[in-house]
Amino acid sequence: MIKPYGSEDLNPLFVYDSERHHELASEAENLPALLLNSAAAANAVMLGAGYFNPHKGYMNLADAISVAESMATTEGLFWPVPIVNVTQDVQAISGAKRIALRDPNVEGNPVVAVQDVEAIEEVSEEQILAMAGKIFGTTDSDHPGVATFTGLGRFLVSGPIQVLNFSYFQQDFPDTFRTAVEIRNEIQERGWEKVVAFQTRNPMHRAHEELCKMAMEAVNADGVLIHMLLGKLKPGDIPAPVRDAAIRKMVELYFPKNSVMITGYGFDMLYAGPREAVLHSIFRQNSGCAHFIVGRDHAGVGDYYGAFEAQEIFDQQVPEGALGIEIFKADHTAYSKKLNRVVMMRDVPDHSMDDFVILSGTKVRQMLAAGEDLPQEFARPEVAKILMAHYQS
């Protein structure tokens, strides 16, 4: 199995030792507390789950700026997006060396992690905007990732953390949420050597289904990891439980038995396009996958990124040898009326756009809300039925 990113072994920050876990939980009740925002809480979950390996906690301002500007920490570790705990108010933790981080997404705000505070630094508006411009390629406040990042606060709390729980993800998605550790273990249990990963924040239509099958065949993979984001999305995106149900139905009916692992991870979507594609590849390397599918407008939103910028960044800005995982670069995939099957557009230069079955996201939503069946060339009927129930509810 492929090695984790940045270390020989995966080093998740969740405290698995039960005695130590109990000690920390007891200690945390008497520590100065910081109520996290959702972005910082998601970062804690990802650190705990091993997806952010080899990092030990939240970055300081120098590292955050360095990562934003050059995709490397001050010590030279390649990394595409800052891992930060930015907050509006640090009055409750002023002068503290050790603090309890409380979860904003769970009733009662339980402690999600304990942090050793190395520094509390004030971040200027200029610094926040400069980082946003590098991470997202824009400072437009209409970009959902920019709006979130620039609204988190002006104080950066850095230092290592020890994670005590995985927020709401384990409870709300017990059959789907998996840590990088658990995914590695399951790959090993299945006897798979080579796994190709597919990232999704949306339901999977015929094109996505066939893309996974094409990638598996092309790289001779033993299986595919369908790895869905379970955290916060922008308004209008389909909720995780609906996506989960639709994907499970598709896999049950249309994939060979024991060829797919359906899993999810606890992170809030950044919509950072190329930078997020690189981050996604590291998640999958830490999960033990050898290949990662990057398609058209991966992790994009609106018209902020070019169709294949998320592929080009791997050739243009990722240092050679920095990543162990290989990128499977996919073109736009759609059903060909000429060939009566799903194809990658680059593979059929004799086709015109009229030869494909293509529906915009807006058109799909309108049809489902109106109770109209989607073309079977576009979506499996069993999947469409689940989505229609959501849009009509």
| 151-169 confidence digits (pLDDT tens) | 999 999 999 999 999 999 9
User: Are β-strands 98-102 and 111-116 bridged in parallel, bridged antiparallel, or unpaired?
Assistant: antiparallel
175-265+273-392: CATH number: 3.40.50.620
Q: Where are the domains of the chain?
A: 18-167, 175-265+273-392
Give the residue-averaged pLDDT of 243-264: 96
Concerning whether 30 is annotated as a catalytic residue, the answer is: no
User: Are β-strands 195-200 and 291-294 bridged in parallel, bridged antiparallel, or unpaired?
Assistant: parallel
Give the active site residue among 11, 190, 202, 365.
Answer: 202
Whether residue 231 has pLDDT greater than 90:
yes
Give the active site residue among 184, 201, 206, 275.
Answer: 201
Which is higher by pLDDT, 201 or 266? 266
User: Are β-strands 111-116 and 260-265 bridged in parallel, bridged antiparallel, or unpaired?
Assistant: unpaired
Concerning whether 201 is annotated as a catalytic residue, the answer is: yes
Rounded-to-integer distance, Cα 280 and Cα 275, Å: 9
CA-based max dimension of the chain: 69
pLDDT tens digit string along 267-318? 999 999 999 999 999 999 999 999 999 999 999 999 999 999 999 999 999 9
| pLDDT for res 237 | 83
| Reported confidence tier of residue 369, pLDDT bands at 50, 70, 90 | confident
pLDDT tens digit string along 218-230? 999 999 999 999 9
- DSSP single-letter state for residue 78: B
Q: Average pLDDT over the chain, rounded to whole? A: 96
Q: Are 209 and 250 in contact (CB under 8 A)?
A: yes
SS3 392: helix
In the numeric block, which tokens belong to residue 211? 């893309």
> What are the beta bridge partners of residue 343?
334
CATH superfamily of 18-167: Sulfate adenylyltransferase (3.10.400.10)
Rounded-to-integer distance, Cα 39 and Cα 89, Å: 15
| Reported confidence tier of residue 361, pLDDT bands at 50, 70, 90 | confident
| pLDDT for res 393 | 82
- Which of 110, 107, 112, 119 is closest to 42 using CA atoms? 112
Whether residue 81 has pLDDT greater than 90:
yes
* HSE, side-chain direction, 13 A CA sphere, residue 291: 21
Q: For the chain, what percent of residues have pLDDT higher than 70?
A: 100
Compute the 3-state secondary structure of the chain and give helix, strand, coil in percent, each to the nearest 5: 35, 20, 45
